[in-house]
Amino acid sequence: MLPFAIAFLGSFETGEFGPFANIWLAERFLDFVTTFMFWVGITFELPIVMYFLSKLGVVSAQRLSSFRKYAFVLAFVIGAVITPTPDPINQTIVSLPIYFLYELGVILARFA
């Protein structure tokens, strides 16, 4: 996903005298990549957080199962927000793993 994001964000150049010019600075590039990887990593912690919340008794697997339709919509909203391109294919590529991580969290909550 990172190469697509960089290619899309790099396509905003409109010419030498246009309003946008690509100036690739190592500091900004590394900041973008680091931030991007951080939030992707946080997203992949979702099943573990759900497991421990279920282990502590904060939520139950049945309660999480009842929120499936909301989790599906929320996954697509999050995918729309963090996807750097406006097309629905990339949004789906981002959203489906988020939803599958939620489902994995529901399965892990059953074992807690």
Please check whether residue 99 is in contact with residue 71, taking contact to mean a CB–CB distance below 8 angstroms. yes
User: Looking at residue 18, what is its pLDDT?
Assistant: 62
Q: Letter for the amino acid at 4?
A: F
Q: What angle do CA 97, 101, 103 make, to 5 degrees?
A: 115
% residues pLDDT > 90 (the chain): 44
| Structure-model confidence comparison of residues 1 and 90, the more confident one | 90
Whether pLDDT at 61 is above 90: yes
User: Looking at residue 72, what is its pLDDT?
Assistant: 96
- Please, what is the average pLDDT of the chain? 86
pLDDT tens per residue across span 75-89: 999 888 877 677 788
Give the residue extent of every domain in the chain. 2-111
Tell me how far CA of residue 11 lies from CA of 20, 23, 42, 51, 97, in angstroms: 10, 12, 28, 41, 26
pLDDT tens per residue across span 27-55: 988 988 888 888 888 888 999 999 999 99
Q: pTM for this structure?
A: 0.73
Whether pLDDT at 13 is above 90: no
